[in-house]
Amino acid sequence: MSGRIDIAVIGGGPAGLAAAIAADKAGAKTLLVEREARLGGILKQCIHDGFGLLRFGEKLSGPEYAFKDIEALGQTTVEVKLLTFVTRIEKCEGFFRLTLVGALGIETVETRALILSTGCRERTARQIAIHGTRPAGVITAGAAQYYTNILGQLPCKRCVILGSGDIGLIMARRLTLEGAKVIGVYEAKPTPSGLSRNIAQCLEDFDIPLYTSRTVTRVFGRERLEAVEIASVDEKMRPIPGTTERIACDGLILSVGLIPENELAESLGVPLENPARGPICDQHYETLIDGIFSCGNALQVNDLADYVSESGECAGRYAADFAVCLKNTDEKNISNSGISSKRIFAKLSGGRDFLSLVPQRLNINNIEDDTTIFFRAREERGGTRIRAFAGEKEIFSKTYNQLRPPEMERITLKLKNLRLGEGDVIQFIMEDAPVAQGGEWRVEG
Ligand SMILES: Cc1cc2nc3c(=O)[nH]c(=O)nc-3n(C[C@H](O)[C@H](O)[C@H](O)COP(=O)(O)OP(=O)(O)OC[C@H]3O[C@@H](n4cnc5c(N)ncnc54)[C@H](O)[C@@H]3O)c2cc1C
């Protein structure tokens, strides 16, 4: 690709695919860089169904979902580089310089805007400090999924699953279907971390027990895992002495959380938010550094691929606007500082009850009527009313019968007629509310 391009999309999972397609549609000269041999990201190994209900109105497997976007990408002029790593990005005056390492060697590319869609990675045994030796057989749920679904190799015959995240639940079912014995899923928290539908369809339907307030405290075995030690934990997740039991197994599958991949963003000084550690962004998924956008699991850990694609589409569209505006300025040879699209921020803020709230900023220079907000509750709750205030004025209210941290909620704010100034805050609160009768969801606002 010669000359300066408009947009470089880094990562070819569902977020990057949607972003590249949307950017191309908006007229931007786009490059998509993927380090693996095939596009599709994590979806390639998710051979179960349940993807695409919102976006395509169909129940698809992960590869089928990805294939729809890969086909659509084929109809665009997006250049794709596979087996290529982005190892370095430098911010220069009015553009970014990327260093790419691929089969043909090292090359550099200059781009006006960047979309970071690098996904997330799993926490490993090291990050949760399990005592004991380092035998084979202790692997993450995603790695177990890769062995089973891509390589066709069963990673263990009798296993314990630690953590009740969705990947662990899905692998409990998958390993059972392949003939392995799953002794149980052990969760340190008092409530499960995965979606309710996965608890029902992956554990209950297969008689796989779920033990809460328990954890693995030690592993045994030299070359290969021989057993694990399980203990009950107190409310601070500390093992309770005298409660340990030893379980013989050759596999310990870890499903203990996902971490957004943001090393490239960090190297560029993009401010990240804790604890999710995704970049702080505005409603168009532009980070606090002009021209750097983030989407998908790199921005926040999503529960549905449909939401991942939605964020990619939005980032792609607005990155194209940014890049085309910058290109026009470059071509007219006028100072970049004259660009009228300077962002002015209001803040979106949730209290302690919110585990996450994305976006965290509103660019009040470019507000559409419908603004999408994603949030998760910090703790499991019954009837809850979510309210949002701009100063004294209530601008949103919706009542839920139940909120659970694993389930990401999506709401739409109508903001067009709201007068907001720089630094103004839209404050979200959660308050207890009566549960609707008959199991119906009661929605206001
Ligand atoms: C086991 C499992 C089961 C799931 N089940 C469901 C389900 O039933 N329904 C549902 O809707 N969703 C499900 N999901 C969620 C969904 O798969 C993810 O949310 C989605 O794949 C995230 O998309 P992404 O594009 O953000 O990241 P990814 O799919 O992880 O893609 C990121 C891509 O970026 C590339 N990359 C990273 N860094 C670089 C770099 N420096 N240079 C070049 N390339 C790079 C990676 O190789 C990867 O291809 C599941 C996820 C998992 C793991």
In terms of pTM, does the model score above 0.85?
A: yes
In the predicted structure, residue 336 carries a pLDDT above the cut 50: no
Q: What pLDDT, on a 0 to 100 scale, did the predictor assign at position 252?
A: 96
Which one has a higher pLDDT value, 358 or 257?
358
Q: What pLDDT, on a 0 to 100 scale, did the predictor assign at position 437?
A: 57
In the predicted structure, residue 106 carries a pLDDT above the cut 70: yes
**Nearest-CA residue for atom 48 of ligand 1:** 41
Structure confidence by residue, pLDDT tens digits, 272-300: 987 567 999 999 999 999 999 999 999 99
Mean pLDDT in residue range 83-95:
95
Q: What pLDDT, on a 0 to 100 scale, did the predictor assign at position 257?
A: 87
159: pLDDT confidence band, cut at 50, 70 and 90?
A: very high
- Token representation of residue 62: 């992960």
**Nearest-CA residue for atom 45 of ligand 1:** 11
Structure confidence by residue, pLDDT tens digits, 187-214: 999 988 888 889 999 999 999 999 999 9
Which one has a higher pLDDT value, 267 or 417?
267
Question: How far does residue 36's CA lie from ligand 1's centre (Å)?
Answer: 12
Residue 126 and residue 350: Cα distance in Å, rounded? 32
Class of domain 1-122+257-339: alpha beta
In the predicted structure, residue 90 carries a pLDDT above the cut 90: yes
- Ligand 1 atom at minimum distance from 301 CA: 19
Q: What pLDDT, on a 0 to 100 scale, did the predictor assign at position 297?
A: 96
Which residues have C-beta atoms less than 6 Å from ligand 1?
A: 10-16, 33-36, 41-43, 46, 50-51, 85-86, 117-119, 142, 145, 166-167, 170, 261, 296-298, 302, 304-306, 308
DSSP bridge pairs for 219: 132, 228
Q: What is residue 52's DSSP assignment?
A: -
- Ligand 1 atom at minimum distance from 297 CA: 26
What is the average pLDDT score of the chain? 91
Q: Which residues of 181-195 are buried (b: 16+ CB within 10 A; e: fewer)?
A: ebbbbbbbbeebbbb
Mean pLDDT in residue range 175-180:
97
**Nearest-CA residue for atom 30 of ligand 1:** 119
In the predicted structure, residue 24 carries a pLDDT above the cut 90: yes
DSSP β-ladder status, 409-414 and 120-122: unpaired
Question: How far does residue 118's CA lie from ligand 1's centre (Å)?
Answer: 8
Question: How far does residue 423's CA lie from ligand 1's centre (Å)?
Answer: 34
In the predicted structure, residue 103 carries a pLDDT above the cut 90: no
Query: Which is nearest to 422 in space by CA: 379, 364, 381?
Result: 364
Q: Are 232 and 213 in contact (CB under 8 A)?
A: yes
- Ligand 1 atom at minimum distance from 15 CA: 25
Question: How far does residue 180's CA lie from ligand 1's centre (Å)?
Answer: 26
Sorted by where each begins, the domain ranges of the chain are: 1-122+257-339, 124-256, 344-445
Output the DSSP codes for 408-443.
PEEEEEE-TT----TT-EEEEEEEE-PPPGGGPPP-
340: pLDDT confidence band, cut at 50, 70 and 90?
A: very low
Class of domain 124-256: alpha beta
Q: Which of 32, 42, 49 to probe ligand 1 with, by most ligand atoms within 8 A of CB?
A: 42
Q: What pLDDT, on a 0 to 100 scale, did the predictor assign at position 333?
A: 56
DSSP bridge pairs for 105: 102
Q: What pLDDT, on a 0 to 100 scale, did the predictor assign at position 275?
A: 58
Q: Are 342 and 285 in contact (CB under 8 A)?
A: no
Question: How far does residue 383's CA lie from ligand 1's centre (Å)?
Answer: 32
Q: Count the helix, strand and coil residues of the chain and give each as a percent rounded to the nearest 5.
A: 25, 35, 40
| C-alpha dihedral sign at 166, 167, 168, 173 | positive
| C-alpha dihedral sign at 100, 101, 104, 106 | positive
Q: What pLDDT, on a 0 to 100 scale, did the predictor assign at position 416?
A: 81
Amino acid code (one letter) for 229: E
Residue 217 and residue 229: Cα distance in Å, rounded? 6
Question: How far does residue 80's CA lie from ligand 1's centre (Å)?
Answer: 18
Asked whether this chain's domains 1-122+257-339 and 124-256 adopt the same fold, the reply is yes
In the predicted structure, residue 410 carries a pLDDT above the cut 50: yes
Within 10 A of 413 (CB to CB), how many other CB atoms are there?
22
Q: What pLDDT, on a 0 to 100 scale, did the predictor assign at position 126?
A: 64
Which one has a higher pLDDT value, 397 or 1?
397
Structure confidence by residue, pLDDT tens digits, 108-133: 999 999 999 999 999 876 666 677 78
Q: Are 165 and 231 in contact (CB under 8 A)?
A: no
Q: Which residues contact 296 (CB under 8 A, 6 or more apart)?
A: 11, 13, 14, 15, 16, 117, 119, 302, 308, 311, 312
Residue 270 and residue 121: Cα distance in Å, rounded? 19
Residue 436 and residue 78: Cα distance in Å, rounded? 49
Mean pLDDT in residue range 30-42:
97
- Token representation of residue 386: 């979510």
